[in-house]
Amino acid sequence: MRLLLVEDDELLASGLVLALYRAHYTVEHVRDGDAALEALAHNQFALMVLDLGLPKRDGMAVLHAMRARGDLTPVLILSARDATRDRIAGLDLGADDYLIKPFELDELLARLRVLMRRRSGQSVNQLQLGELQLDLDGLSATWQGKPVEMARMEFMLLHKMAESPQRVFSRAQLEESLYGWGEGVESNTIDVHVHHIRKKLSPSAIKTVRGVGYRIGLPEA
């Protein structure tokens, strides 16, 4: 799950990046409003966490601009502005949620899970595909009714593909979804993850589409 964090407070941002990474998000961090719009124009994100008091372009202006150009990325505003008029303005401009600083990390993560459920049309934070079940809250996998130990990137890769069972993903698309801008990725990294997933689930769990990439091979529930 790739998330864009727009926050100019470096101390807060560094703590959030670490916490979100541990919660299995791939986080891209930018520090001003112009950089946020540039990132949105050239990348796809599952969610955005947006501060309001930003350099160069205020968070409200960012929200207005992205919605005006048809960008429907779910947005959670994270701001110290606690006046009712600010919350109403943010929601009216198209924010999906509004959380006031200071905040509890567990509440932020819970609200992000709600936005992910809403985005995928699910009422619970679980994904079922054939004999595979992914618990997106507990970050755990079950195969044929038995728990399966998975590394962080294996879980994220499987989740990404299981969300769109009919879609074929190129290696580049999977790398972009799983790894941040500054992370070096070996050319065979995705292939290695796929190999491990097949060993843990089934050789047919992920299908290779020759010359294109990969798609999930499990039947839909």
**DSSP-assigned states of every residue in 11-60:** HHHHHHHHHHHHTT-EEEEE-SHHHHHHHHHH---SEEEE-SS-SSS-HH
Residue numbers of the domain that contains 147? 126-216
pLDDT digit string, tens, across residues 153-166: 898 888 888 888 88
Pair 102, 175 in one domain: no
Measure the CA–CA gap between 77 and 215, rounded to whole angstroms. Answer: 34
pLDDT digit string, tens, across residues 31-60: 999 999 999 998 889 899 999 999 999 999
Amino acid 94: pLDDT? 93
Choosing from 70, 103, 120, the residue where a domain stops is 120
Measure the CA–CA gap between 12 and 218, rounded to whole angstroms. Answer: 40
DSSP letters along 70-102, please?
T----EEEEES---HHHHHHHHHTT-SEEEESS
Measure the CA–CA gap between 204 and 152, rounded to whole angstroms. Answer: 21
Residue in the block written with tokens 């990348």: 43
Pair 139, 116 in one domain: no
Mean pLDDT of the chain: 88
Amino acid 165: pLDDT? 84
Pair 158, 72 in one domain: no
Q: Is the pLDDT of residue 221 over 50?
A: no
Q: Is the pLDDT of residue 123 over 60?
A: no
Amino acid 183: pLDDT? 63
Choosing from 77, 92, 120, the residue where a domain stops is 120
Any idea what the CATH number is for the domain that residue 57 is in? Answer: 3.40.50.2300
Instruction: Give the chain's domain count.
Output: 2
Choosing from 91, 120, 149, the residue where a domain stops is 120
Amino acid 122: pLDDT? 57
- Any domain includes 73: yes
Measure the CA–CA gap between 189 and 175, rounded to whole angstroms. Answer: 8
- Any domain includes 203: yes
Measure the CA–CA gap between 36 and 43, rounded to whole angstroms. Answer: 10
Amino acid 91: pLDDT? 94
Pair 134, 93 in one domain: no
Any idea what the CATH number is for the domain that residue 168 is in? Answer: 1.10.10.10
Amino acid 138: pLDDT? 76
